[in-house]
Amino acid sequence: MILRRRTLLAASAATATAIASPAIAQNYPRRPVQLIVAFAAGGSTDVGARILAAAAEKDLGQPITVVNKGGAGGQIGFTEIARARPDGYTLGFINLPAVNTIVLDPERKAAFNMESFIPVVNQVLDPGLIWVKGDSPYKSLKDLVDAAKKEPGKIRACTTGILSDDHLAILMMQEAAKVEFRIVHFDSGTQQLAGVMGGHVDVAFDNVGSVVKRVESGEARGLAVTDVQRSKFLPNVPCTKELDYPTVISSSTRGVAAPKGTPADVIKVIETAFLKAINSADMKQKMDVAGLALKPMVGAEYAKYYADLQKQAQKYTEWALKMR
Amino acid sequence: MRQGRLVATGVMLAFCLFALWQSLLLSLTDRLGPGPGFFPFWLALIGAVLALALLFTTFREPIDPADAEVRILPHGPGARRWLAIVVLVAAAAVAMEIVGFRLAMLVFNAALVIALGERRWWLIALFAMAGSFGVHYVFTTWLDVLLPAGRIWS
Amino acid sequence: MEAFHHLLAGFAAALTVKYLLFALAGCVLGTLIGVLPGLGPAAGTAILIPLTFSLDPTGAIIMLSAIYYGAMYGGTITSVLINVPGEAASVVTCIDGYQMALQGRAGSALAIAAIGSFVGGTLATVALVLVATPLATLALKFGPVEFFALMVAGLCLVVGLAGKNMLAALLMTVIGLLFAMIGLDPVRGAPRFTFGIEELYDGIGFVPVVMGLFGVAELLIAAEKRQARMIQADLKNWMPTKEERRASAGAIGRGSAIGFVLGLIPGVGAIVPTFMAYVIEKRVSKTPERFGKGAIEGVASAETANNAYANAAMVPLLALGIPSSPTIAVLMGAFIINGLTPGPFLFQERPELVWTVIASFFVGNALLLILNLPLVGWWAKLLKIPFSYLCTGVLIFCVIGAYGLKQSLFDVWVMLGFGIIGYLLRKLDFPIAPAILALILGPMMERSLRTTLEMSGGSFAIFLDRPVALVLLTVPVIVLGALLLRPGTFSKLRETDTD
């Protein structure tokens, strides 16, 4: 509770000052800006980040270089961002709930906490997707749950990493449907794909953006989107809310953040430039093609989302840790 | 040589024992079976056994008289060059983040080629410049590789 | 055959001046990237993605693919010339390639590498055209269980390489595996053996370690010997002699097959086929004692397998949309950014694009050969530069390579430290290759075992259900055990035929 309030307070204070500040920095940016992505090149986060960087460059007036600092489930990259000089020349993409779960797991010994970042602009909200192979015997979420009830601990469900949003989604599903899956952790979306397609696991808890094209082509079958509404990319796939699992809401959120201490007027410049890029038609088109849902959030809205997610993540992370 | 091998194997044995101790600090089993300490533990154990076996067989080897001539650690005039490389690379590593890549490498280049025997000052200067400023330009401007800028400059 | 028609159309497109130039640019850039240490194909390809934003999708893919296999060859150049592997798989080439260079035969080594790469790449692409989709689907059946078994088999093979020095090789393998355990463990995702050093959270960097063990150690050894130049021998003619060519032919054939088959399996990594091809070549050779001292078959088999693998690794991407390695994942990212999703869908929707890309693989392989073969003589001459300059120059590159990966000074220290360690190990006759392989395979092994156990719910019985894995697991272990327990292993350790 205290954690949430403090985070909310800190985040909104930072953004409030940013909005209230009268003067926009006249001499920023004067040289190229670095954008750190905590995951490997070519992945969903990276693709979104590169599209955004290319678009925002024009509005910012300086080149934006994407730097991949992958590894340790994002921890390496996030640490870099938290430690960077808060002068506005090093920014980063933060992935929620990845940042949350790393902070919440005491064994990870994270060198940062929720206050280490100032969330500036959110870009993508990629809702979770439960999917199976196209020729799988499970034609609906109900089929899956029934099968899981009949054979507790036998149906193999995979994630893209320990304590990833996928992992949390499985735990939510287990709680809501009172079933038990056999959880298998892979290291990336790619391995997950190979795992399902090769028949080594039965169902994948993933995100819409990673698999949208395959669902469209029929290679994969989407059972449910873990959101309060259907995904516009997959209109035929029901959402968990309409399937009577309103508590199973999970997604991967990715946005731009600055290290704590970055001056408010600099933040304002960044926010304006990136927001403009996100709302541009070119950006929308490119993201649509990539299957990534845009959800721009700034200021107090983003700060609140940031804090709310922490609370939700806390509950399930503690549960996951107890299972060790 | 034999002495050298014995020492090296001894070091490896010590390393394995250390790893053994460290892995005992981690849990060996968990809900699903092997925990994080499981594999390091068994590997360290096998490693220690192998090291002991190697120590044993190395001892038992007949001593080859030619072996005694072989010195493991660098010695003689070659040792100076060897040391020059190690010390200068270390110095450059330390200096790089303080004064920046270009300055550190400039000094490093000149110092090392001189230590390795070079005397033509114009060639040294040219090479030192190319190997520091030139290389820096190529890597940072064309290839987007970030090299240290040096703390004292910013 | 419809495929054939598509391929012809693809050739027509790939040979247009525009795409030819892209392929050429890719090959040149790729080779340069491969030569520069630490800037492996993955990082280099990622850097060049922004470039391709301005090109049309087909052009972009052609160029990026050319960069990918161009970089594979670039890595060979440094392996042969200065014993610094440009990237992981080039480690094997160092073993015999560098020895050949010391004997003045750098030209032949590089030439046979270029020829072998060409043949391997072309054969792999031919096979790709003929059997892409059905084989790719079959390869998917190779899951974490089989993976683990394959890694174990690979390690056993390499230890078996060591001949009479097997005890030491086995010990080195174990130590390599222990080093591989540093980092986040696959069980909890918590740091293990990191002692609070955050740079170790992702494991001990492979590139700095190898650059140190191979490159820096080599320089230290040469410095101590007070050589005026790196190599004393005269430079021989760069074309391989008739005997060399004949000897390599078999190696090239076998290397192509091994590289192709393993390239179909996503996630294997280039080093496994490269090592396997080398070891198998040594086993079938009538004169195995030459390996490690400059046997051209060693270079030929490794390089061919390497390139066959690189081309075959495109199969899972094109046929199924599954990238085989981080580098290919970057390639896939480029596809996606340009609005395309690789996979069977793409084959049907945009056949002209896919077949043009495939045709350009053939073209690119040929270009690589045409580009590099004439330059081989010049590369070899580099070794005649006075040692003071060569040594310093190599060190500059190594430092940049080690630092540039993650902007980490720690990696530079790792490189230096392992340079000294490598120097000592070489002087004491301890085989390094098994440790390197263990360092690379270790994390994959542990992860796949962990995933296997998650899949089976904790039961090891899953291995009994999977015949392929069972065979891969038990046969090499049994063979290794038999070799180890032979009389003589424990008494005579002086006679070695290691690297």
DSSP string across B21-64? HHHHHS-SEETTEE-TTHHHHHHHHHHHHHHHHHHHHHHHSPPP
Any idea which of C7-16, C31-40, C361-370, C402-411 has the lowest mean pLDDT?
C31-40
- Give pLDDT tens digits for C233-267: 666 777 778 878 888 888 999 999 999 988 888 87
| Best mutation target, B9, B39, B56, B102, to test chain C (most C CBs within 10 A) | B39
- ipTM, two decimals, is 0.90
**Chain B: partners with 3+ C-beta pairs within 8 Å:** A, C
- Name the CATH superfamily, with its identifier, for domain A2-126+252-322: Bordetella uptake gene, domain 1 (3.40.190.150)
Whether residue C176 is predicted with pLDDT greater than 90 in this model: the reply is yes
Q: How confident is the model at residue B32 (pLDDT cuts 50, 70, 90)?
A: low
Q: What is the pLDDT of residue A132?
A: 94
Report the relative pairing of strands A182-185 and A156-159 from DSSP bridges.
Answer: parallel
Residues of B in contact with C224 (CB under 8 A): 74, 78-79, 81-82
pLDDT at C430: 86
> Between chains, do C400 and B145 touch, taking CB under 8 Å as contact?
yes
pLDDT at C453: 85
- Of these ranges, B24-28, C2-6, C389-393, the one predicted with the greatest mean pLDDT is C389-393
**Both structure tokens of C278:** 């080398």
- Pairwise CB contact (< 8 Å): A67 & B146: yes
Per-residue confidence in pLDDT tens, chain A, 324 aa: 333 444 444 454 444 444 444 344 567 888 888 899 988 777 788 888 988 988 898 888 888 888 887 777 788 889 889 988 888 889 999 988 888 888 888 877 788 888 899 989 999 999 999 999 988 999 999 999 999 999 998 899 999 888 888 988 999 999 899 999 999 988 777 788 888 988 899 999 998 888 888 888 888 899 999 988 898 889 999 999 888 888 888 888 999 999 999 998 899 999 999 999 999 888 888 888 778 888 888 888 888 888 888 888 888 888 888 776
Backbone angles phi, psi at C175, to 5 degrees: -65, -40
pLDDT exceeds cutoff 80 at C219: yes
Q: How confident is the model at residue C496 (pLDDT cuts 50, 70, 90)?
A: very low
Q: pLDDT class for C498, splitting at 50, 70, 90? A: very low
Least Cα separation, residue B146 to chain C (angstroms): 6
- Per-residue DSSP letters for C441-457? HHHHHHHHHHHHHHHHT
Q: How many residues belong to chain A?
A: 324
- Return the number of CB contacts < 8 Å for B and C: 173
Report the distance separating Cα C401 and Cα C20, nearest Å: 31
Nearest to B31 among A34, A65, A323 (CB): A323
**Closest by alpha carbon to A33, among A261, A253, A266, A263?**
A266
The per-residue pLDDT for A21 is 40
Among C174, C388, C400, select the one facing B117 at the smallest CB separation.
C388
Range A127-226: architecture per CATH: 3-Layer(aba) Sandwich (3.40)
Answer for the pair A223, A141: CB distance below 8 angstroms, yes or no: yes
pTM: 0.81
Provide mean pLDDT across the span C334-345.
75
pLDDT digits (tens, 9 = 90+) for C123-173: 988 888 887 777 777 888 888 888 888 888 888 877 766 666 788 888 999
Write out the residue range of the structural domain in which residue C320 sits: 2-484
Mean pLDDT of C172-186: 88
pLDDT at A9: 45
Give burial (CB, 10 Å; 0-12/13-18/19+) of A99: buried
pLDDT per residue as tens digits for the range B52-76: 998 888 888 777 766 665 667 777 7
**Range(s) within chain A of domains with CATH label 3.40.190.10:** 127-226
| DSSP per-residue letters across A197-222 | HTTSSSEEEEEHHHHHHHHHHTSEEE
CB contact under 8 A, C326 and A105: no
The answer to whether C92 and C440 have CB atoms below 8 angstroms apart is: no
Contacts of B66 (CB under 8 A, 6+ apart): none
- H/E stretch holding C138 reads helix C106-139
The number of domains in chain C is 1
In a domain, C84, yes or no: yes
pLDDT score at C487: 60
Shortest CA distance from A53: residue in chain C: C50
Q: What is the pLDDT of residue B143?
A: 66
Q: Select the residue of C50, C142, C454 nearest A185 (Cβ to Cβ).
A: C454
pLDDT tens-digit profile of C32-55? 777 776 566 566 666 666 666 667
